[in-house]
Every structure is written in structure tokens, then in C-alpha cells.
Amino acid sequence: QTPQSFHFQTILDAHRRAAAAGRDDFTDDAAIAEWAGIPVRLIEGTAGNVKLTLQKDIAMADARLSSPLPDVRTGNGYDVHQLVAGDGVTLCGVFIPHDQALLGHSDADVALHALTDALLATCGAGDIGDHFPPSDPRWKGAASRIFLEHAARIVRDNGGTIMNADVSLIAEAPKVGPHREAMRRNLSDFLGIALERCSVKATTNEKIGFVGRREGIAAIATATVVYRKDDS
């Protein structure tokens, strides 16, 4: 890190004066400038901007550039539950009054179920059914945040840091928009990550298929997790 910059004519005149004086003991332009009475100012450089002078410098630069990429993994999940007559649905942990309900062994929160699978996928930990089989009476009517928080613990126990959670809900009704921020806050709380890293979106199915006929609600989720390197 030894770049030097001078006004050309100024430093040229200094060199000529040094030559005329028979001085040939200067090590660089800055030394000549100081001898000639030209003010020299030092500016702090950037440590990452390594000067390549010796063979070992090039070897170090090659090693830095060829280091492994960060271990960033993306998982996705999908879930669907049937709609039946009822008084409301639970989505992302928010109960929304409605003339239908989602049918399921737990609270049938399709959003959290899809996101649970997305997180488990990032470390090859199976799916929600492996950890919470619907045949197990312990999970009858259970809040799905239990499943999501369990998946988040598995991710962290495997060295992962959850960077982003994104849920897309596919339903003709009820309206998700008025509840979106409450849903995002729930995801932030359940996963222990910043609100800005949580996204909830919704769309209809344009009255096509089982969603369009209001026979069910579907959810697609994506999770991004960074895993630390194993230094062993």
C-alpha cells in the first residue's frame, strides 16, 4: 500500500533539483518531495486492498479469492387444508373470523405448516409429519407455532441462522390484507428474527380449482438459512 501522487510538474522539478545536486540516495518520490520542501501528507489506506509485490502476496490473494462460498440454503414448503363450515380460520397464528374453518388434526394453520417444512428442508430434517404425526393425539388441536418453533430450534442446533421467511397464501377468502402485519409480527416472534425479514403475501386462484371453489386454502413458503462452517 504505497501509492504516491503528486502534481507532475512539481515533482518533476524536485527530481531535476535533486539530480543537479548529485543526490541519488532517495528511496521514493515522497523522500525527494520532503527534501524539496513539498508538503507530504499520509492517507490511511484499506487493509483489504493488498499490494501484490512478492510471490507470497499473490499466493495469499489466490487463497482469499478461492475460499469456499458461504453456506446459504433455501428451503420451500407447501401445505393445503380443506375448508369446512365453521366460524374462522387461523393463518400465521392469527385467528380470522370467517364463515368457514380449516379442517386438520392441529389448528390447520397452512401457512405455519408450509414454513415449518421450508425450515426443516434447509438441513435435511424431514418434514412436519415426521416430527408431529397426525396420528399422535398429543397434537390434536395444537397451535402450529409449536411446530414452527421446533423447526427453528432444529435449524439453530445444526448451526443455522434464519435470514428470511416468506409465506404466500392462496385463498379466495377471507381477506388477508387487514391481518398481514399481525401475521408478520407473529413470524418475527416465533422465529426470533427481525420483522423486516418476514414476509406474508396473498393471492386468489381466480376462482379456478379447489381454491377457487372455496374448498380449501393453500400456502407456499420459502426460508433462507445461513449455516456456519464446520471447522473441525
Going by pLDDT thresholds of 50, 70 and 90, the confidence category of residue 51 is: confident
Task: Examine the pLDDT at 231 and tell me if it is beyond 50.
Answer: no
232: in domain: no
204: in domain: yes
3: in domain: no
* Residue 157 belongs to domain with CATH number: 3.30.1330.50
2: in domain: no
Residues 41 and 132 in one domain: no
Listed residues 65, 87, 111: the one ending a domain: 65
Residues 175 and 192 in one domain: yes
| Average pLDDT of the residues of the chain | 93
Residues 82 and 51 in one domain: no
Q: Based on the structure, what is the number of domains in the chain?
A: 2
Mean pLDDT of 100-110: 96
Task: Name the residue with cell 405448516.
Answer: 113
Mean pLDDT of 33-55: 86
Residues 31 and 99 in one domain: no
Residues 216, 169: contact at Cβ < 8 Å? no
Between 3 and 9, the higher pLDDT residue: 9
How far apart (Å, rounded) are the C-alpha atoms in residues 109 and 82? 11
How far apart (Å, rounded) are the C-alpha atoms in residues 96 and 105? 19
| Residue 113 domain boundaries | 71-227
Q: Is 0.85 surpassed by the pTM of this model?
A: no
Going by pLDDT thresholds of 50, 70 and 90, the confidence category of residue 112 is: very high
Listed residues 31, 49, 65: the one ending a domain: 65
Residues 82 and 145 in one domain: yes
Each residue of 60-99: pLDDT tens digit?
888 877 767 789 999 999 999 999 999 999 999 999 999 9
